[in-house]
Amino acid sequence: MSIARLIAPLTLLALQGCAGIQSALEPTGAEAERINVLTWLLIFFSAAVFLGVCAITAAALFGGDALRERISGERLVIGGGLLFPILVLSLLLSYGFYLMGAGSPVAHSDSRLRIEVEGKRWWWRVTYVDENGRRIESANEIRLPVGQPVEIELTSADVIHSFWVPKLAGKLDMIPGRTNRMTLHVTQAGISRGQCAEYCGGPHALMAFFVIAMPEREFAAWLEREAADAALPPTDAEAVNGQALFQSSGCVACHRIRGTVAQGTIGPDLTHVGSRHSIAAATLENDPAAFARWIRDSQHVKPENLMPSFEIFTASELRQLAAYMDQLR
Ligand code: CUA
């Protein structure tokens, strides 16, 4: 196979990574937009310097004696080797500092909404704290209002994780015993994907989440729905049986479903789990088949997570549990 035939698909594969819901090169957040400018600036400068060095090397190798004489002079060494890098690197550093300053967290007082995100092995506890101090718990998904800077408070319950939504902002570590703050300021409605960016154990790669940016009024309405208890009772017979199973099988010891007897806090809050974009921290689609698979086989889907695989359930019991989960919207 010729080199070109090998390189072409690899290049396409690499460029594929530049597009889509997790691309820092397609920013939809204020900080990511600044990072994007800096990225292209660095690429442009680096490319220019690289081409310059290539040209001088080529001249040294293949040029005549007169040309060689000229490029080995003291002036080029001092100018090109000392003054030019000092000037260019100082300019880039100053611009970098300027951009970092522009991205500093919003003050507590002018943030109307705050979101606490706690990193767990291997999922995210998400708590919305509104202007009245009301706390609304959710998991593995963050909804944000477009055009409104929101303060994000990052903590960890166990090991170091790192919070990164490339389309929206730079990454920030989540460190046990410490609270790190950042601001997410989404500029466009849409879905982006975040990923834990610090190796935190076997299923680290399966610790992701979706960020759903919505127009401000839509977001306010959503937050009210999210704050409400789970609608009761489930409407179809399968879901009713599923709820009974959920409450008698130990699920309630780890999961909370507000408005029911399920008040566990070890695992994710499932009050409105059916309305989320994905389940198991962006590992599975959100549909009844995925719920059934997760309940039966969670140690296979995400080894070592705290939830055991419940192989005791029959196929029809799994269907009932999945139906109950699915209608929690
Ligand atoms: Cu959490 Cu990697």
Torsion over CA: 46, 14, 38, 180 (sign): negative
* Average pLDDT for the chain: 90
Centroid of ligand 1 to alpha carbon of 158 (angstroms):
10
Centroid of ligand 1 to alpha carbon of 204 (angstroms):
5
Please give the number of the atom of ligand 1 that sits closest to the Cα of 121.
1
Chain-centre distance of CA 323, in angstroms? 28
Centroid of ligand 1 to alpha carbon of 203 (angstroms):
8
φ/ψ region of 32 (left if φ > 0, alpha if ψ in -120 to 50, else beta) reads: alpha
pLDDT above 70: residue 12: no
Please give the number of the atom of ligand 1 that sits closest to the Cα of 119.
1
Centroid of ligand 1 to alpha carbon of 122 (angstroms):
6
Q: Higher-confidence residue: 5 or 46? A: 46
pLDDT digits (tens, 9 = 90+) for 28-41: 999 999 999 999 99
Alpha-carbon distance of 102 to 279, in angstroms, equals: 35
Encoded tokens for 205: 């790669």
From atom 1 of ligand 1, which residue's Cα is the shortest distance away?
161
Centroid of ligand 1 to alpha carbon of 197 (angstroms):
6
Whether omega for the bond prior to residue 122 falls within 30 degrees of 0, making it cis, is yes
Please give the number of the atom of ligand 1 that sits closest to the Cα of 201.
2
Question: How does residue 1 score in pLDDT terms, banded at 50, 70 and 90?
Answer: very low
Q: What is the pLDDT of residue 66?
A: 85
As a whole number, mean pLDDT of residues 123-134 equals 94
Q: Which residues contact 248 (CB under 8 A, 6 or more apart)?
A: none
pLDDT above 70: residue 170: yes
Please give the number of the atom of ligand 1 that sits closest to the Cα of 197.
2
**Ligand 1 — pocket residues by CB below 6 A?**
119, 122, 161, 196, 198-200, 204, 207
Burial (0-12, 13-18, 19+ Cβ within 10 Å), 276: buried
Q: What is the per-residue DSSP string for 56-100?
A: HHHHHHHS-HHHHHHHTSHHHHHIIIIIHHHHHHHHHHHHHHHHH
Are the CB atoms for 328 and 271 separated by under 8 Å? yes
Centroid of ligand 1 to alpha carbon of 244 (angstroms):
34
Given the structure tokens 């703050």, which residue do they identify? 181
Helix (H) / strand (E) containing 298: helix 288-301
pLDDT digits (tens, 9 = 90+) for 272-285: 999 999 999 999 99
Centroid of ligand 1 to alpha carbon of 47 (angstroms):
34
Strand, helix or coil for residue 12: helix
Please give the number of the atom of ligand 1 that sits closest to the Cα of 207.
1
Vertex 96 angle, CA 99 and 167, to 5°: 60
Q: What is the pLDDT of residue 109?
A: 46
Alpha-carbon distance of 67 to 56, in angstroms, equals: 10
